[in-house]
Structure 1
């Protein structure tokens, strides 16, 4: 029998309550810790955000655009161990010291039987590489796309109905295809608007050297 993945659980005051398996956590709606890493790159005075395209085989939010790399922190892990998610999902090996803490954000998403209450440790990674640096974990990620932060911000605020995003996707045979698509909010994982707005504001400030 496969060993169940245990996560630390908390009450609404962020007080520890022990541990529980991931499936039970999402079923009961326990608060738990996650690690979010946003890649952003500055080019010619513009900031670009990178999104992963979740695999079509994922149980939750298949074939939707999401945070560059993110995952749950296991019961025996510290926040710095979250960098393993980046290397596992998109093949970028980085040091925790290279990340910039944006915030620790509590937020909730309910979708069907999923009750996802997260204490999200949210980080920025100023990316200086190219698309060829990404090595995707096929079971989790099927592509990488990027768009201007300003455009995505207007999408969140309802100023635009959709935006153009550029990137690539890979098939099961590791064949990489450059793509461009028009995406509305329905293509993005439904994190709370307040989460997106807060993160974008902080990324702009960090990239400008304000924080």
Structure 2
């Protein structure tokens, strides 16, 4: 995976070449990623689905994250990003079914890891429940849902913790019920401004 080739960009989002995934994160090149947040509405309540990253992931293991996300390879376009949705959570759909939220750039630096991402962000509205997803267990350890209003308030600082419910896969591939009360520290540490911008955009689309 570290040898995968990614397109790299300068600070003005101009394409300047390609580099391996290892080089991208070691040298701090801007690169493209694909994000899809999945929302469902049940009995008038909007819920947001969050994946639990596998404990074996090199980056941010065992933290809650975007429903489905991944790097765009050097030979891929943004439209090709839908493969991440099918690979990670087993939902096959067309690019046209997604609602574009925008392109967001952000940078996270820790130790020798520099993550400078150009995130192509989309929203997918569905009637699926939390048990309908088929997870890629090498990447995704579980799936939970949270009330979107609570999720929104968490990142605005109006709540310290929120409730999530769903399941986690055990070593035998069985689903184990997961109910937790979590704070920001249980999520992948994207910049706070990123979470605030994204949740605001989603709120504009779904209302409430």
- What's the TM-score bracket when you normalise by the shorter of the two chains? over 0.9
Q: Where does residue 31 of structure 1 map in the other structure? A: 30
Q: Where does residue 142 of structure 2 map in the other structure? A: 143
Structure 2, unmatched stretches of 5+, are none
The 2-side partners of 1:109 and 1:3 are apart by 18
Q: Where does residue 84 of structure 1 map in the other structure? A: 83
Report the alpha carbon displacement of residue 40 of structure 1 after superposing the two structures with TM.
0.7
The 2-side partners of 1:62 and 1:125 are apart by 25
Answering whether residue 179 of structure 2 is matched by residue 180 of structure 1, we say yes
CA 32–201 in structure 1, closer or farther in 2 if over 3 Å, else same: same
Give per-residue Cα distances to partners, 1:175-198, cap 9 Å, x unaligned: 111220011111000111111111
Answering whether residue 60 of structure 2 is matched by residue 61 of structure 1, we say yes
The 2-side partners of 1:131 and 1:51 are apart by 10
Answering whether residue 189 of structure 2 is matched by residue 158 of structure 1, we say no
Q: Larger deviation: 113-122 or 158-167?
A: 158-167
The 2-side partners of 1:200 and 1:43 are apart by 19
Q: Where does residue 115 of structure 1 map in the other structure? A: 114
Q: Larger deviation: 39-48 or 25-34?
A: 39-48
Q: Matched residue pairs, number?
A: 208
The 1-side partners of 2:178 and 2:99 are apart by 30
Partner secondary structure for residue 56 of structure 1: coil
The 2-side partners of 1:190 and 1:129 are apart by 27
TM-score normalised by L of structure 1: 0.94
Q: Larger deviation: 151-160 or 18-27?
A: 151-160
